[in-house]
Amino acid sequence: MFYNYLVIAWRNLIRHKLYSLINLGGLAVGLTVCMLILIYVAHEHSFDQFHAQANQTFAVHEQLKMGGGESVQFPTMSYYTGPAVQQSTPAVTGYMRTHQPHKSVIIQNPAVANATFTESNFLFADADFFRFFTFELKQGNPATVLREPLAVVISQKMATKYFGTSNPVGKTLRIKTDSTFTYQVTGVAAPAPSNSSITFDFVASVASLKVMPATAELVKSTQLRGGDFRTYFRLKQAADTTQLQNTMRRLVQEDSFAQVQKFVFTALPDLHLKANFGDFTNSKYIKIFPLVAGLILLLALINYMSLTTARSTIRAKEIGVRQVFGANRKIIMAQFYVESTLFAVLAFSLAYGACYLLTPWFLNKLQLQIDTAFLYSPTLLLLLLGLLVFTILVAGSYPAFVLSGYQPVATLKGKMGKQIGAVRVRQVFTTAQFSISVGLMICGLVIDRQLYYFRHTETGINRENVVMIPITEMFGNHYQQFKREIAALPGVAQVATARYPMYKGYDMWVAKGKNSTEDILLPVLSVDKNFVPTLGIQWKVPPVSQDVLNQPQKIVVNELALAKLGLPANPVGSLVNMPGGDGFEVAGVVNNFVFGSLVHETQPLGLVLAPDTANAWGAVGGCLFARINPRTNLPTVLERMAKTYQQFDQTTPFTYTFLDDAFNAQYQAEDRLASIFGVFTGLTVLLACLGLFGLTTFTITQRTKEIGIRKVLGATTLSIVTLVSKNFLQLILVSIVVAAPVAWWFMQQWLQDFAHRITISWWIFGLAGGAALIIAFLTISFQAIKAALDNPVEALRNE
């Protein structure tokens, strides 16, 4: 019997090629999108679960409450924290400390000329790093590779980069963090899995920090709080975090640290999505993408069910004959489930092939890398199998229940009337399809407008033609000379210096507010006196003299800082007190300008002025800003800058970033969302049009004689097109009315994540609705015009 059903299903698929193509194509598109998003979501939720005892391993950070109720989180602890806590509670069975240099690391193979590179994926770690975490070592003993000072384990990729095909173990690398030392390579590690929140190309022994003058102080602290080490604890039981919290609070009190604080523990598998301290933003997609995937699959399933039930009049007599010969409802349902299974399996196969081809593009859009091993892991394959089973069950459910419920007498006499094909249900399906499409179109337009606002809103800085060049401590006392030579290059209008590149960070200082006992957190940028004019920042209260800006202990504040620090409207000459210091004198006030992302509120800010002759820039590093004149040949200027740079620092590669590029880079997550959302919206419109095209074709087929009679009686092409289109376009109008408020609500919620945001304008709804009506009319009119132009004699002659 099953074979018989399968043969009938295959014959129906071959006989009705157009409907089969629409059904298969729609299901395949929906399943392809679901597969892609399923891969992404499953990968994001699988992070760090490959580690042994992952659920018993917790990362710790401290949360401090400052004056005014401000809460600040620090993801790093002191070197002393790990061993002190383990000795104080039996709940902790082990700990791990990692330290990442704040600046890029320069690495050289002394045996190879010109083999010097700047690396960023560098860690210092405790000796049992490769036993605490489940990272594979290709060469070396996990128990000893990081035991000695100046030992380093490198990844396979770095082994090839620095040593080619030779065995790197036992060889040396010259590594410059704050100081340059010769390290011995003691092991080679396999690449960290793509679903690891801990990544590395180099892992050096934490004992190395003790022999470096610049980092020796990091390992001498005997206080629990503060420090520069990511710290992980392994507990006997996952529920022991309360005991761990109490132990750490007790140890802090013994250190006489008076600020209110708590420690936050995040299980290793939750670290990727729940404890982000950097610029990671892909977690924004975790809720959005599954919803969109579900909607697209729903559209595809609606297409299938709608067309299957619509064509039920063709098979009504077949069902009636089967019922007369003894087939009960279960047998009829089984038949249609077999047909649905055939369609779903074929569509799934097409979708899997499309997913295989599109995965590199999709991951590139998300700027992600997923290991091949994960793509074929049992977990992912089971999820894909579940998707197939779900599709079979849902796609076959409605047709099976509806078609198996027909009365045999009515079907054989052809008296099924308009209830055949569930006309009302198909109308609901069509409305739902276009409601989803219009809703996503509205959402896409709002996202696009928000991104346009980010790009073009006034930020208080002139970002055009400003180059930022990172400066290392290799410049030493020669930085001022380098700065003068850059300023003298043809095409360079102004130069300035700051501690950090714009939009790449700032310092956080503790200042005294109106109440001398109240500590206020104040973001601070350390700059020279040329910073304000070079970036085009406007003065609110200018300094009494430009010479004042070149004196020590001077600070310029923005307007927001006046209220926060309790300063008068004209604060020039006032002091901003810092704990343990003499304070800084306010030299002027600048207008508020955006020095971070527009996602967040603009903050109070202090610009601490370093004298123009200070040698500190070359000693600790910083960033040179150079404004280039308009209509200047940029490649020529950049080439001259590179040559000048290499005269002062021959070990660090010359790099630069344009200020407007750095600003735009803050919105990469939103850019990727807009790009992929546009593709998803296009697919929903395509699926809705496929369904509408199929229903229009079927409707015209059912009304062929009616259209022929109308033409014989003098009906025009326009009247026939109107006749066919009217009911469908009414459904599209209903879908616009349904979609608009829902999309408005969702976008209002999405916009709440942005401190600087647009107001949703009425024209967005009009544009999306108008586009939906035009697309639907074109889809319908193609078949309607064709039917109106056909010879009516042929239509009337057809039985």
HEC string for 341-380: HHHHHHHHHHHHHHHHHHHHHHHHHHCCCCCHHHHCCHHH
Q: What percent of the chain has pLDDT over 70?
A: 84
pLDDT value at residue 280:
41
Residue 467 belongs to some domain of the structure: no
The answer on 161 and 298 residing in a single domain is no
Confidence of residue 405 (pLDDT cuts 50, 70, 90): low
The mean per-residue pLDDT over the stretch 552-561 comes to 90
Looking at the DSSP bridge assignments, the partners of residue 96 are: 232
The mean per-residue pLDDT over the stretch 236-244 comes to 89
pLDDT value at residue 186:
95
Looking at the DSSP bridge assignments, the partners of residue 517 are: none
The answer on 679 and 574 residing in a single domain is no
Calpha distance 532→142 (Å, rounded): 52
pLDDT value at residue 184:
95
pLDDT value at residue 417:
46
Residue 427 belongs to some domain of the structure: no
Residue 371 belongs to some domain of the structure: yes
At which of 631, 651, 671 does a domain end?
Answer: 651
Residue 464 belongs to some domain of the structure: no
The answer on 441 and 509 residing in a single domain is no
pLDDT value at residue 282:
53
The answer on 499 and 442 residing in a single domain is no
Residue 463 belongs to some domain of the structure: no
pTM of the model: 0.80
Residue 347 confidence (pLDDT) above 80: yes
Residue 460 confidence (pLDDT) above 70: yes
In the block, which residue shows the tokens 């300063």? 567
DSSP 8-state class, residue 626? E
Calpha distance 535→503 (Å, rounded): 13
The answer on 445 and 307 residing in a single domain is no
Calpha distance 127→129 (Å, rounded): 6
The answer on 501 and 375 residing in a single domain is no
Residue 274 belongs to some domain of the structure: no
Calpha distance 665→475 (Å, rounded): 28
pLDDT value at residue 538:
94
The mean per-residue pLDDT over the stretch 498-516 comes to 80
Helix, coil or strand: residue 652: coil
Contact 647, 475 (CB under 8 A): no
The mean per-residue pLDDT over the stretch 531-537 comes to 94
Residue 349 belongs to some domain of the structure: yes
pLDDT value at residue 114:
73
Closest CA to 225 of 259, 274, 268, 275: 259
Contact 399, 308 (CB under 8 A): yes
Residue 356 confidence (pLDDT) above 70: yes
Residue 204 confidence (pLDDT) above 90: yes
The answer on 84 and 51 residing in a single domain is no
- Token code pair at residue 464: 């055009």
The answer on 747 and 704 residing in a single domain is yes
At which of 651, 681, 714 does a domain end?
Answer: 651
DSSP 8-state class, residue 330? H
Average pLDDT over all residues of the chain = 83
Side-chain-facing half-sphere of 458: CA atoms under 13 Å: 6
Calpha distance 84→227 (Å, rounded): 14
pLDDT value at residue 701:
67
The answer on 721 and 595 residing in a single domain is no
Looking at the DSSP bridge assignments, the partners of residue 105 are: 119
pLDDT value at residue 549:
84
Calpha distance 598→459 (Å, rounded): 9
Confidence of residue 466 (pLDDT cuts 50, 70, 90): very high
**What is the CA angle 795-797-799, rounded to 5?**
90
Contact 576, 568 (CB under 8 A): no
Residue 129 confidence (pLDDT) above 80: yes
Residue 418 confidence (pLDDT) above 50: no
Domain count, the chain: 4
The answer on 11 and 73 residing in a single domain is no
Residue 426 belongs to some domain of the structure: no
Residue 702 confidence (pLDDT) above 70: no
The answer on 442 and 398 residing in a single domain is no
Confidence of residue 277 (pLDDT cuts 50, 70, 90): very low
β pairing state of 71-74 and 57-65: antiparallel
**CB count in 10 Å sphere of residue 56:** 19
Residue 419 confidence (pLDDT) above 70: no
pLDDT value at residue 504:
87
Q: Does 255 or 554 have the greater pLDDT score?
A: 554
CA end-to-end span of the chain, whole Å? 33
At a CB cut-off of 8 Å and minimum separation 6, what does 299 contact?
26, 30, 433, 436, 437, 684, 687, 688, 691
Which residues span the domain enclosing 175?
67-258
The answer on 245 and 225 residing in a single domain is yes
pLDDT value at residue 698:
67
